[in-house]
């Protein structure tokens, strides 16, 4: 770490002003070096000291995040770059930092165009609660979301899976059925990823790495059973990485997105993130209705009338209770 660059700009910042300016996307960060994708090339780059100062003023832990679109000045001599401009972010996924930087915002990925919740239909069992938390997070960051149901090769007519798939389709979320090992639905997924920065997130073992490899065989991402411990260690020590897709676009596998943001959600606002609840929210008897135990609740009436799926209502209550207990996103 070069703390010196926070106090004075390094001489390299303004050296060789005639060198080429290039635009690219940050695909990887180690904290002091960044890989910038420019066309088919990846250029290791550093960041001007002034961005470190700005980042401290903005109360953020990282001046540059993967997904950021940047301008670099190329040093023709050694092939490295200096990030001289960071373009305005359209979206970002972030979380509050812990430890030394407690409370500061840590941007995980910038400029995410779409977020996919990955679930396997079997082994591990489909978990609709995960999907609902994921959809809340994505909505909080204004990122459109969809659902990938992987391992469909292991499925033979499971009515529960069909019911869940139909439920999200009806709510307006794209639902893709894939098999990474049998090559089912991979072309449809590839089309969805084209020219976008897409996030995939899901529990360990659902096949995220296998899907990445099916989409882009050259990636050669490690797959297989990963122990709980290793997975946790990875999560805290490495940064998210953008994998370029040959058809254009990037895909990023972020382990922790499930709880992004939910931590900061007020229980009273939760119902707004269940898209099908919204039309009923003004009709509850009590203005501060939590749609749990209150009489005259329009949401509960809609559940009884079959207009809201009981599965989603149950999921709502689960998140509500964890928010009320202040435990959402902590230690999970
Ligand atoms: N039957 C079947 N197995 C799969 C599929 N996708 C992945 N797997 C297997 O599931 C296990 C976990 O896959 P992996 O890609 O490492 O999951 P990740 O933890 O989400 O990255 C591996 O043994 C894969 O071979 C699939 O579509 N069908
Ligand atoms: Mg994996
Ligand atoms: Zn209510």
Per DSSP bridges, beta strands 21-29 and 34-38 are: antiparallel
Q: Which residues line ligand 1 (CB under 6 A)?
A: 150-151, 153-154, 179-181, 202, 204-210, 223-224, 226
The answer to whether the pTM exceeds 0.85 is yes
Mean pLDDT of the chain: 87
The helix-helix angle for 310-324 and 128-140 (nearest 10°) equals 70
pLDDT of 118 > 90? The answer is yes
pLDDT of 326 > 90? The answer is no
Alpha-carbon distance of 41 to 244, in angstroms, equals: 11
- Would you place residue 226 in the very low, low, confident or very high pLDDT band (cuts 50, 70, 90)? low
What pLDDT does 228 receive?
47
Residue 274 CA: which ligand is closest? Answer: 3
pLDDT digits (tens, 9 = 90+) for 176-220: 999 999 999 999 999 999 999 999 999 889 999 999 999 998 888
Task: For ligand 2, an ion, list residues with CB under 5 A.
Answer: 209
Average pLDDT for residues 279-302, to the nearest whole number? Answer: 97
pLDDT of 331 > 70? The answer is no
**65 Cβ partners below 8 Å, 6+ apart?**
26, 29, 92, 107, 108, 109, 110
Q: Which residue has the higher pLDDT, 19 or 118?
A: 118
In the reported structure, the alpha carbon of residue 104 is separated from the centroid of ligand 1 by a whole-number distance in angstroms of: 35
The helix-helix angle for 208-215 and 186-193 (nearest 10°) equals 80
What pLDDT does 286 receive?
96
DSSP 222-234: --S---HHHHHHH
Hey, which of 154, 178, 180 would you mutate to test ligand 1's pocket, going by the most ligand atoms within 8 Å of its Cβ? 180
Average pLDDT for residues 247-273, to the nearest whole number? Answer: 81
In the reported structure, the alpha carbon of residue 257 is separated from the centroid of ligand 3 by a whole-number distance in angstroms of: 28
pLDDT digits (tens, 9 = 90+) for 2-61: 444 444 444 454 555 567 999 999 999 987 899 999 999 999 999 988 777 777 777 888
pLDDT digits (tens, 9 = 90+) for 266-287: 999 999 999 999 999 999 999 9
pLDDT digits (tens, 9 = 90+) for 156-167: 889 999 999 999
pLDDT of 236 > 60? The answer is no
> Mind listing the domains of the chain with CATH numbers?
4-88 (2.40.50.140), 110-259 (3.40.50.300), 265-324 (1.10.40.50)
Residue 25 dihedral angles phi and psi, to the nearest 5°: -120, 135
Atom of ligand 1 nearest to the CA of 202: 20
User: What separation in angstroms does the CA of 46 have from each of 8, 36, 49, 63, 211?
Assistant: 15, 10, 9, 11, 32
């Amino acid at each position: 770490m070069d703390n010196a660059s926070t106090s004075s700009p390094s001489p390299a910042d303004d050296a060789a002003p005639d060198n080429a300016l290039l635009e690219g996307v940050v695909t990887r960060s180690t904290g002091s070096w960044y890989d910038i994708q420019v066309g088919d090339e990846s250029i290791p780059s550093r960041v001007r000291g002034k961005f470190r100062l700005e980042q401290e003023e903005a109360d953020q832990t990282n001046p540059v995040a993967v997904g950021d679109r940047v301008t670099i000045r190329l040093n023709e001599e050694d092939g490295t770059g200096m990030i001289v401009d960071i373009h305005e972010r359209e979206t970002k996924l972030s979380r509050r930092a812990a430890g030394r930087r407690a409370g500061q915002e840590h941007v995980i990925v910038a400029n995410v165009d779409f977020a996919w919740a990955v679930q396997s239909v079997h082994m591990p069992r489909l978990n609709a609660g995960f999907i609902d938390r994921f959809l809340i997070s994505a909505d909080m960051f204004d990122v459109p979301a969809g659902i990938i149901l992987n391992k469909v090769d292991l499925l033979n007519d499971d009515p529960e899976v069909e019911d869940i798939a139909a439920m999200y389709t009806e709510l307006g979320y794209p639902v893709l059925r894939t098999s990474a090992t049998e090559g089912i639905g991979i072309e449809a997924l590839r089309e969805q990823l084209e020219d976008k920065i897409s996030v995939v997130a899901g529990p360990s073992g659902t096949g995220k790495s296998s899907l990445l490899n099916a989409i882009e065989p050259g990636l050669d991402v490690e797959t297989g059973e990963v122990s709980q411990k290793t997975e946790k260690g990875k999560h805290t020590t490495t940064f998210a990485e953008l994998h370029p897709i040959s058809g254009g676009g990037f895909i990023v596998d972020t382990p922790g997105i499930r709880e992004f943001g939910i931590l900061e959600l007020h229980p009273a606002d939760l119902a707004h993130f269940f898209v099908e609840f919204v039309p009923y929210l003004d009709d509850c008897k009590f203005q501060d209705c939590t749609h749990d135990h209150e009489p005259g609740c329009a949401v509960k009436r809609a559940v009884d009338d079959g207009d809201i799926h009981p599965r989603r209502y149950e999921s709502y209550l689960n998140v509500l209770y964890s928010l009320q207990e202040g435990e959402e996103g902590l230690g999970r």
